[in-house]
Amino acid sequence: MYILALKNSYNLFLNIFSVAREEVVHVLCFDVSEEELKVGLKPSDTQRLHIHNAYSDPLGWTGHPNFTAQQFILEDLANLVKQTSQPKPAVLVIDSLSWILRHKTPPAVCQTLQQLRKGGAVRAVIGLLHTDMHQRGTVGSVCHLATSLISVAPGVRGKEAVARVTKRSKSGKVMQDEEIFCIAEDFTVTILSKASHAEHKTNSTEEEQADPTANLTFNLRLSDSELEAKQKLTLPFVFSKEKKTALLHPGPGSGRILYEPDANDDYDQEDPDDDLDV
């Protein structure tokens, strides 16, 4: 699933056909009309394009709507795509998710997107999201479902735009690309510059570890003579081999306990331990 996150309000949906080329495309139009979307398209593109008008009556006020925001559920979307016969699963384009999120809760929208992603009704879902219209949590929840995220913003020069692409693979690897491009009057895209890098976990052994004793006012390191004296030092309560042998194998006359009874001792010859009975 692709999420096209735009910070500005102009429509760049015509560039999506470079992604879905040679594919049957279903478009849910909420932001622009069908006539505006078809402007500049070739007849070969319109033959593969199936537009579902949600622009004229998005809430069903006329009683005969083509598609409404409340129909954004898996069953209705699957039936919508099945109306046209195609050998392969089609591509679903949503223009835009921002309109749907204004009339449906974010959990319901995310659940439908997740079902579309795993249900097999469509091959791919491309959604347009105006990030400046929603809270950060809503934008993060929707973008978290996407395998590819394209963030488009105006460039420094007038006709330039910047696209930041984030791709997530199943292995967890994240690729980030940044492209500066411009669009001609015939809707051809020209890439002016491109940069990419991969995010990966760095190995801890390769990282330089700072020395915690580098900037101390006192010395924690031992000289060779101090280290030798430390190794020769016999610590208390540490038994040498000779002491262990003497304790485990006592000689004659060792190991005896001498005890002199006291006059106040309570000593019973019959049962010395009767005081322990309970």
How confident is the model at residue 271, as a pLDDT?
61
Inter-residue contact 198 to 175 (CB < 8 Å): yes
How confident is the model at residue 275, as a pLDDT?
63
Instruction: Name the pLDDT band for 250 (thresholds 50, 70, 90).
Output: low
Q: What is the pLDDT of residues 202-230, one digit of tens each?
A: 444 444 566 776 777 777 778 888 888 88
Inter-residue contact 171 to 136 (CB < 8 Å): no
| pLDDT of residue 128 exceeding 80 | yes
CA Rg value for the chain:
39
Query: What order do you get walking across the sheet with 174-183 strand by strand?
Result: 49-53, 25-29, 90-95, 122-130, 2-6, 148-154, 160-168, 174-183, 189-199
Mean pLDDT for the chain overall: 77
Maximum distance among all Cα pairs of the chain, rounded to whole angstroms:
121
Tokens of 66: 């083509």
Q: Could you identify the residue written with the tokens 């006012």?
A: 217
Q: Is 10 exposed, middle or buried (0-12, 13-18, 19+ CB in 10 A)?
A: exposed
Question: Could you tell me where the DSSP H helices lie in 43-105?
Answer: 43-47, 74-82, 97-101
Q: Is 29 exposed, middle or buried (0-12, 13-18, 19+ CB in 10 A)?
A: buried
Q: Is 161 exposed, middle or buried (0-12, 13-18, 19+ CB in 10 A)?
A: buried
| pLDDT of residue 135 exceeding 80 | yes
The structural domains of the chain, ordered by start, are 2-195 (3.40.50.300)
Tokens of 272: 């010395």
Q: Could you identify the residue written with the tokens 């005890």?
A: 259
Q: What is the pLDDT of residues 39-58, one digit of tens each?
A: 767 777 777 788 888 888 88
